[in-house]
Structure 1
Amino acid sequence: MTTLGTASAGPGEIDTGRLEVGETRDGSPVGLPVAVVNGAAAGKTLYMQAASDGDELNGVGVIQRVVPRLDPAEISGTILIVGIVNYHAFQVAEHRNPIDDTKMNRAYPGNEGGTSSERIAAATFDIATRADLILDLHQGSTSRMLDEVRVRCGNRHRLHEQCLELAKAFGCGYILDQKGPDGQLARAAPDDGIPTVDPELGGAVGWDERSIRKGVDGVFNVLRYYDFLQGSHSLETQTRATGFEQYGAPAGGLVTLQKELGDPVRPGETLFEVTTPFGEPKAEVTADGNGILWRARRLPQVATGEYVCSVGTDIGEY
């Protein structure tokens, strides 16, 4: 029997339930939605979670579509899932936990006696470290961005190659291989010996069906590659960036991008222009070096210094 919160499943069974992680301001219990898929045959354990940042919903869409397609009779091993991590932020469609104004994916490995976010991080980290592999599903919040998988442990980490292999198995087509900030699950879990990646499934306000479908495909790619499911999955070459440069607006106005997401960028090429509302030129920003347009703001209006776009640099194949 495998148990996660109130969900319990024997071999060949699936169950859903709640994982209690505290109380709301009226004293009602807070329970994260969880699922256990216990395969009929022995095998590895995969942990998946979504919405550790409360407005990043594409990962929730992936889990919503993946779980009904999982037949425990056909699975070897166990899949543990927390469908919504940042409960309080999800309820109000915000990025940060409004109870403590914390970005949840900076709180790992958490603290059982700490703030709301630290307690939730500790509870989910305890589940995650029961696994052999971890998928922490994200998206680019309100920015438009490529579907990518992020390897955040750093290239000197002892699990770096295993994390890269997991990213390649997921197979979004793009990998950002750059050490992440402290407190990310994809930073903390490899320190406990568990290969972990952070699929960033596009960027949208609400759902993005194309990115959700790519995420669903990625999960099933992982399940086949690591033998949770029968059927082969051949690793395909991915485009990998190991650097990331951000560009801001030198003047306020309306931005017109001169490149599409995924387009190659060369030194001196125009990335974007800023004009007045009447189309009068105010500024032109060019690329500092070679790369790929990786991410861009969704809305055209900007103030001086406001974020406009990001270019993935040090591009290669993996």
Structure 2
Amino acid sequence: MTTTLGTASAGPGEIDTGRLEVGETRDGSPFGLPVAVINGEQPGRTLYMQAVSDGDELNGVGVLQRVVPQLDPTTLSGTILIVGIVNYHAFQIAEHRNPIDDTKMNRAYPGTETGTSSERIAAATFDIATQADLILDLHQGSTSRMLDEVRVRCGKRHRLHDDCLELAKAFGCGYVLDQKGPDGQLARAAPDDGIPTIDPELGGCVGWDETSIQKGVEGVFNVLAYYDFIDGTTELERQTRANGFEQYGSPNGGLVSFEKDLGEQVASGDVLFEITTPFGEPKATVTADSDGILWRTRRLPQVATGEYVCSVGTDIDSY
């Protein structure tokens, strides 16, 4: 059976790329999102993947750039649907939010066909995503420094929580944030339609990072093997899970010096960072409120009063 996505159309054992038209630019020209269809020779599940929901998060498209050329549809079971760049306008200017409506795309799902620019893109991609059996929404921690991790955002009481957690474990980054996400996230909205969905957060950088991209490539192939899209096996290994998240801002303006490294365990009362003047004069020392793991930090050393500095994953366990 031929599968079509935008202008991409592939029969069994075929692959095709094209564009999905979702609107017009300010000069009235149509624009489309890059899409791909990999239609397996044999029947099976359908996987949907997307990247660059936030315009400066490029590691996801780096993953797709490396995964797609390695896929052979003649040996694939099932179908893979891909939107390579979701936030078209933000990607063009390397900004996080859609500049047309100043919206963070991953707060617009499931979208509205007659809504704002972001809502229309969300509606178009959600319509594709909800045709699948599994969803991978590839992200990164924006331009901050962050662990390679996977987020389960449906909430522990959701009927698909265990399925989403299994998908996260199959992806296999080693770290999982299992915490209900904000309204409007694809990983919140799609499980309500019965589709296990995860949000791999592949590090954080300016541009892209090869180490995190490779982690994402391995994760995608882990999922493909575990759910029988390709031959092979994926052993589900125990993951370090954070069930909560604490963010820390700066009490003063100045320069940040971290006392802990990413991934390092912290205990309540441990020093996380210090703020100094440009001459090294101490201004503030910030300590951890809870036990946990240093999960994410700002990239630039300079901060203003109240500005974000770092996050600690809390309520840690292994599953």
Give the structure-2-normalised TM-score.
Answer: 0.99
2: CA distance, partners of 1:103 / 1:267: 33
Instruction: Determine the structure 2 residue equivalent to 1:275.
Output: 276
Task: State whether structure 2 residue 112 is matched by structure 1 residue 108.
Answer: no
In structure 2, give the amino acid aligned to 1:109. Answer: P
2: CA distance, partners of 1:191 / 1:225: 23
1: CA distance, partners of 2:307 / 2:19: 40
How far residue 237 of structure 1 moved from its aligned partner, in angstroms, is 0.5
Structure 1 residue runs without a partner (length 5+): none
1: CA distance, partners of 2:290 / 2:196: 32
Instruction: Determine the structure 1 residue equivalent to 2:179.
Output: 178
Instruction: Determine the structure 2 residue equivalent to 1:50.
Output: 51
2: CA distance, partners of 1:24 / 1:309: 37
How far residue 74 of structure 1 moved from its aligned partner, in angstroms, is 1.2
Task: State whether structure 2 residue 20 is matched by structure 1 residue 19.
Answer: yes
How far residue 105 of structure 1 moved from its aligned partner, in angstroms, is 0.4
Task: State whether structure 2 residue 121 is matched by structure 1 residue 117.
Answer: no
Tell me the secondary structure at the aligned position of residue 274 of structure 2. Answer: strand
1: CA distance, partners of 2:242 / 2:268: 16
2: CA distance, partners of 1:198 / 1:68: 23
1: CA distance, partners of 2:268 / 2:108: 37
Instruction: Determine the structure 2 residue equivalent to 1:74.
Output: 75
Deviations 1:215-254 (A, max 9, x none): 0000000000000000011001000001000011111111
In structure 1, give the amino acid aligned to 2:87. Answer: N
How far residue 142 of structure 1 moved from its aligned partner, in angstroms, is 1.1
2: CA distance, partners of 1:87 / 1:268: 44
Aligned pairs (5 A) from 1:70-149:
70-149=71-150
Deviations 1:100-133 (A, max 9, x none): 1111000000000111100000000000000000
In structure 1, give the amino acid aligned to 2:205. Answer: A
Tell me the secondary structure at the aligned position of residue 19 of structure 1. Answer: strand
Instruction: Determine the structure 1 residue equivalent to 2:217.
Output: 216
Instruction: Determine the structure 1 residue equivalent to 2:241.
Output: 240
Aligned Cα RMSD in Å? Answer: 0.4
Runs of 4+ in structure 1 displaced over 6 angstroms? none
1: CA distance, partners of 2:188 / 2:305: 33
1: CA distance, partners of 2:96 / 2:66: 23
Deviations 1:186-229 (A, max 9, x none): 00000000000000000001011100000000000000000000
Percent of pairs with identical residues: 83
In structure 1, give the amino acid aligned to 2:223. Answer: V
Tell me the secondary structure at the aligned position of residue 204 of structure 1. Answer: coil
Tell me the secondary structure at the aligned position of residue 282 of structure 1. Answer: strand
2: CA distance, partners of 1:107 / 1:247: 26
Tell me the secondary structure at the aligned position of residue 316 of structure 2. Answer: strand
2: CA distance, partners of 1:92 / 1:251: 32
Instruction: Determine the structure 2 residue equivalent to 1:253.
Output: 254
Instruction: Determine the structure 2 residue equivalent to 1:165.
Output: 166
Structure 2 residue runs without a partner (length 5+): none
In structure 2, give the amino acid aligned to 1:94. Answer: E
1: CA distance, partners of 2:34 / 2:184: 23
Give the structure-1-normalised TM-score.
Answer: 1.00
Instruction: Determine the structure 1 residue equivalent to 2:190.
Output: 189
Instruction: Determine the structure 2 residue equivalent to 1:151.
Output: 152
Instruction: Determine the structure 2 residue equivalent to 1:3.
Output: 4
State the number of aligned residues: 318
1: CA distance, partners of 2:118 / 2:277: 42
In structure 1, give the amino acid aligned to 2:14. Answer: E
2: CA distance, partners of 1:192 / 1:100: 27
Task: State whether structure 2 residue 315 is matched by structure 1 residue 314.
Answer: yes
